[in-house]
């Protein structure tokens, strides 16, 4: 399939803040036509491709359009209407549920009329409680929510959100904000050009810094941004809200203590992030915690082993794809659900595009 992928990557819609150019619209129309054609001949049929496999869908934030426009990483958010469209589609083709339920059913070899799929949400954002919960309830679907424990305990934003809001605030400051930001970023060896994409590029580049250097940079930018605070919608869920989700029948899993990248941790930090987060969640919620979700998707053999030793039953990465019976259950793959990847040239949800992406012909490069 290598050649297919090269051809299809070539027709991918690039990111842009200036609105699509006629050239890009043409590329999108070509992409949509290929997706429709492949769906028509059944080549990307999710039922055919997902049969005998376990699929896992990933969401992050669920924000109304007005809030998404103020969020520094709009690609990580779907609107409640878009979530509704995703769930309508997924329910039609898959047997949907939380990961603990679906993975257990899958491993037991249960035969189902539709392939099994789990719905997951990373980062325990409050919008999952306020905006995703009612949509899930309407569809009668249970999901899994992965919690970064310290951020929830302290009600602090995750570092990338804090960084993103501060970067944006400085960029928008009229009194020398952008110049001050350029100084800070160039001293840290970060990109400084391309203001339209700067926030995403800097956050991505900062993942290459050591943990200490990254947090120092976040601190510096947040300090320079001063009183500019993140909006109220950006907060994380509380333990009480998580308990309500659990009472609804949703699964709560661990997303580590500090949302740091696991392979960077030494053995004692790894034990803290993995085993301690499980202990705290079990204590606070009075529930068994069975699933671990690697922050940023980063894992290696050592971290997967630590997850297994801490008593979890499974762990999820951000690697793209289906899971088979022989897949490593401590490094399960997922499908990232991104609105712009499944919208046609007019911005409408196009099911054939989701078929196309889940088929693997049109690969998930944002993983
Ligand atoms: Zn995360």
The CA 259 to ligand 1 mean position distance, Å, reads 6
pLDDT above 90 for 25 = no
Give the torsion through C-alpha atoms of 235, 152, 83, 295, to 10 deg.
Answer: 120
CA of 32 to the centre of ligand 1 (A): 30
Distance 122 CA to ligand 1 centre (A): 5
pLDDT in tens, 136-193: 999 999 999 999 999 999 999 998 898 899 888 888 887 788 888 888 888 888 888 7
pLDDT digits (tens, 9 = 90+) for 82-108: 999 999 999 999 999 999 999 999 999
Q: What is the pLDDT of residue 149?
A: 98
Best-predicted range by mean pLDDT among 72-76, 189-193, 326-330, 361-365? 326-330
pLDDT at 330: 98
Domains of the chain from N-terminus onward? 42-156+233-336 (3.20.20.370), 159-229 (no CATH)
Output 351 or 149, whichever has higher pLDDT.
Answer: 149
**145: CA distance to ligand 1 center in Å?**
11
pTM assigned to the model? 0.87
Cα(24) to centroid of ligand 1, in Å?
31
Could you tell me the distance, in angstroms and rounded to a whole number, from the CA of residue 41 to the centre of ligand 1?
Answer: 37
Ligand 1 centroid to residue 30 C-alpha, Å = 33
- Cα(17) to centroid(ligand 1), Å: 25
CA of 27 to the centre of ligand 1 (A): 32
249 C-alpha to ligand 1 centroid (Å): 22
Residue 189: per-residue pLDDT: 84
Question: What tens digit of pLDDT does each residue of 59-90 get?
Answer: 999 999 999 999 999 889 999 999 999 999 99
**Is a pLDDT exceeding 90 seen at residue 328?**
yes
CA of 69 to the centre of ligand 1 (A): 20
Å from CA of 343 to ligand 1 middle? 24
Confidence grade of residue 15 (pLDDT, cut at 50, 70, 90)? very low
> Ion ligand 1 — residues with CB under 5 Å?
122-123, 295
Mean pLDDT of 324-343: 92
Residue 179 CA to ligand 1 centre (angstroms):
31
Residue that is written with structure tokens 């202990």 in the block = 279
pLDDT tens-digit map of 190-223: 888 776 678 888 888 888 888 888 889 988 888 8
**pLDDT level of residue 308 (50, 70, 90 thresholds):** very high
47-51, 170-174, 303-307: which has the highest mean pLDDT?
Answer: 303-307
Q: What's the CA-to-centroid distance between 125 and ligand 1, angstroms?
A: 10
The alpha carbon of 296 and the centre of ligand 1 are apart by a number of angstroms equal to 6
Q: State yes or no: pLDDT of 282 exceeds 80.
A: yes
How far is the CA of 196 from the CAs of 54, 73, 140, 349, 366, in angstroms? 38, 12, 40, 25, 19
Looking at beta carbons, which pairs linking 152-158 to residues 24 or more positions away fall under 8 Å?
152/124, 152/236, 152/237, 152/238, 152/239, 152/242, 153/239, 153/280, 155/235, 155/236, 155/238, 156/236, 157/230, 157/234, 157/235, 157/236, 158/123, 158/236, 158/259
Residue 175 is predicted with a pLDDT of: 78
- State what percent of residues in the chain have pLDDT above 70: 90
Cβ-defined contacts of 74-78 (< 8 Å, 24+): 75/15, 75/200, 75/338, 75/340, 75/366, 77/127, 77/339, 78/337, 78/339
CA of 148 to the centre of ligand 1 (A): 7
Distance from Cα 156 to the centre of ligand 1, integer Å: 14
Sign of CA dihedral 253, 157, 63, 11: negative
Distance of CA 54 to the CA centre of its chain: 18
Residue 292 has pLDDT above 80, yes or no: yes
CB-based burial label for 46 (10 Å; 0-12, 13-18, 19+): buried
CA of 158 to the centre of ligand 1 (A): 8
pLDDT at position 361 is 65
């Amino acid at each position: 399939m290598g050649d297919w992928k090269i051809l299809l990557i070539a027709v991918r819609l690039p990111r842009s803040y200036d609105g699509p150019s006629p050239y890009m619209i043409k590329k999108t129309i070509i992409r949509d036509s290929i997706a429709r054609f492949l769906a028509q001949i059944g080549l990307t049929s999710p039922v055919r491709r997902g049969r005998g496999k376990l699929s896992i869908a990933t969401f992050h934030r669920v924000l109304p359009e007005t809030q998404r426009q103020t969020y520094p990483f709009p690609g990580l958010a779907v609107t409640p209407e878009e979530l509704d469209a995703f769930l309508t589609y997924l329910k039609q083709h898959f047997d949907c549920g939380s990961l603990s339920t679906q993975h257990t059913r899958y491993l037991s070899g249960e035969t189902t009329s539709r392939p099994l799929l789990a719905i997951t949400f990373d980062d325990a954002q409050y919008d999952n409680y306020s905006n995703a919960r009612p949509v899930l309830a309407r569809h009668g679907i249970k999901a899994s929510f992965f919690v970064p424990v310290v951020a929830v305990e302290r009600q602090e934003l995750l570092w990338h959100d804090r960084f993103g809001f501060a970067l944006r605030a400085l960029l928008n400051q009229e009194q020398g904000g952008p110049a001050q930001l350029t100084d800070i970023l160039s001293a840290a060896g970060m990109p400084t050009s391309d203001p339209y994409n700067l926030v995403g590029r800097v956050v991505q580049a900062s993942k290459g810094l050591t943990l200490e250097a990254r947090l120092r940079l976040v601190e510096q930018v947040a300090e320079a941004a001063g009183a500019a605070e993140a909006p109220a919608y950006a907060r994380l869920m509380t333990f009480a809200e998580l308990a309500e989700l659990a009472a609804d029948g949703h699964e709560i899993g661990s997303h580590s203590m500090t949302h740091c990248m696991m392979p960077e941790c030494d053995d004692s930090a790894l034990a803290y992030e993995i085993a301690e987060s499980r202990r705290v969640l079990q204590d606070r919620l009075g529930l068994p915690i069975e699933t671990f979700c690697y922050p940023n998707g980063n894992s290696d053999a050592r971290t997967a082993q630590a997850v297994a030793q801490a008593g979890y039953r499974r762990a999820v990465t951000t690697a793209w794809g289906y899971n088979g019976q022989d897949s490593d259950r401590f490094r399960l793959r997922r499908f990232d659900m991104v609105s712009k990847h499944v919208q046609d040239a007019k911005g409408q949800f196009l099911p054939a595009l989701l078929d196309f992406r889940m088929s693997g012909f049109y690969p998930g490069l944002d993983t």
